[in-house]
Chain A
Amino acid sequence: GIQVEQSPPDLILQEGANSTLRCNFSDSVNNLQWFHQNPWGQLINLFYIPSGTKQNGRLSATTVATERYSLLYISSSQTTDSGVYFCAVGTDSGAGSYQLTFGKGTKLSVIP
């Protein structure tokens, strides 16, 4: 099956710093999503980005599907950005559905 690798696995930032998280995947995908899992376990949709670039406030993401990677940028980080960031890619499961394969995540800790 498809492989999804995220880097770095752990990241510690001073509040106000910027960061880039990377997601590499091993095959063509129909879909790509970035999630933030907060300390309570909730998975928050950040971006649905099978290709191109999107921005939402201090966050932005870029997916280069032809080169099989995606980047998540966090600018001016805040303590509330702490948590685990997951990249998940969608592949066709047939029958009108697809499955998401998740990476292992990047654990981000933002310190005051």
Chain B
Amino acid sequence: SQTIHQWPATLVQPVGSPLSLECTVEGTSNPNLYWYRQAAGRGLQLLFYSVGIGQISSEVPQNLSASRPQDRQFILSSKKLLLSDSGFYLCAWSVPQYNQPQHFGDGTRLSIL
């Protein structure tokens, strides 16, 4: 069966520091991959999605970037964190076909001080 892993689970970073969050999927090939952010008390917002290695689409302008160096690895990065980057970040995957459900990891809770 397929599984999705995110780490770290919790992260506290100072303003201006770099960021790297990692997501990996097991048990499937060529998945679609997604990064979402959830601000406190709100719904999820799609940040990036990828349909293949090196292919990244951004949904909102921001201080973050994403990369997909391997088929089942998706990385969310920032060179300099802002206070507004605080939130709960979730990675998701789906099979590479239309109209398929997305499955979420357990998330990373990021606090910026």
- Residue among B57, B88, B101, B102 making CB contact with A95, cutoff 8 Å: B57
Type the 1/0 row for A45-57, where 1 means its CB is closer than 8 Å to any CB of B: 1001010000000
Prevailing SS type, chain B contact patch: strand
Report A12-49 residues with CB < 8 Å from chain B CB: 30-31, 33, 35, 40-43, 45, 48
Report A67-112 residues with CB < 8 Å from chain B CB: 86, 88, 90, 92-93, 95-105
Chain B residues, CB < 8 A from A41:
38, 88, 106-107, 109
A104–B42 alpha-carbon span in the complex (Å): 6
How many residues of chain A have a CB within 8 Å of chain B?
Answer: 27
- Residue among B32, B88, B101 making CB contact with A33, cutoff 8 Å: B101
Chain A residues, CB < 8 A from B43:
86, 102-105
A73–B34 alpha-carbon span in the complex (Å): 28
Interface residues of B (CB under 8 A from A): 32, 34, 36, 38, 42-46, 49, 51, 55, 57, 59, 88, 90, 92, 94, 96-104, 106-107, 109
Interface residues of A (CB under 8 A from B): 30-31, 33, 35, 40-43, 45, 48, 50, 86, 88, 90, 92-93, 95-105
